[in-house]
Amino acid sequence: MPANTAPERPVIAVGETRNVAVSFVDVLDDGELLTGTPTVVEVTTNDLTLTNKTVNMAAITINGQNVAIGKAVQFKVSGQLVANSPYTIKITVNTSAAQTLVKYVVLSVAES
């Protein structure tokens, strides 16, 4: 598992369509924000459909922590199969400080 794997560990059931949010607070510099449209891709199979990829435009709560506007990536996931679980998803996003940040999130699938 890469060192830049996000602590978020979503678990979703077969047949569900779910929203996922991943915080970048821990890797952003003071005053830095995420910008543009993030790239969100599955790296383990081609099962998942990943849509609505965006930087958060409102404050949200992730793992019990408040995350300010522009400090998280949100996307929608569907198409998951138990047989191919867990999935690894790679998120790449630019910042207001001209950095490119990469995080991985592991998604597990439960029987529906």
Q: Is residue 1 part of a domain?
A: no
Query: In this structure, are residues 51 and 34 in contact, taking their beta carbons and an 8 Å threshold?
Result: no
Question: Is residue 87 assigned to a domain?
Answer: yes
Res 2 pLDDT > 70:
no
Per-residue confidence band for 4, with pLDDT thresholds at 50, 70 and 90: confident
| Domain total of the chain | 1
pLDDT at 6: 77
Instruction: Provide, rounded to the nearest whole percent, the portion of the chain with pLDDT above 70.
Output: 97
Task: State which residues form the domain around 73.
Answer: 11-110
Q: How far is CA 14 from the centre of its chain?
A: 19
Q: What is the pLDDT of residues 46-82, one digit of tens each?
A: 999 999 999 999 999 998 999 999 999 999 999 999 9
CA–CA gap between residue 78 and residue 17 (Å, rounded): 5
Using CB atoms within 10 Å of the CB of residue 60, give its burial: 0 to 12 exposed, 13 to 18 middle, 19+ buried: middle
Q: How far apart are CA 22 and CA 55, in angstroms?
A: 10
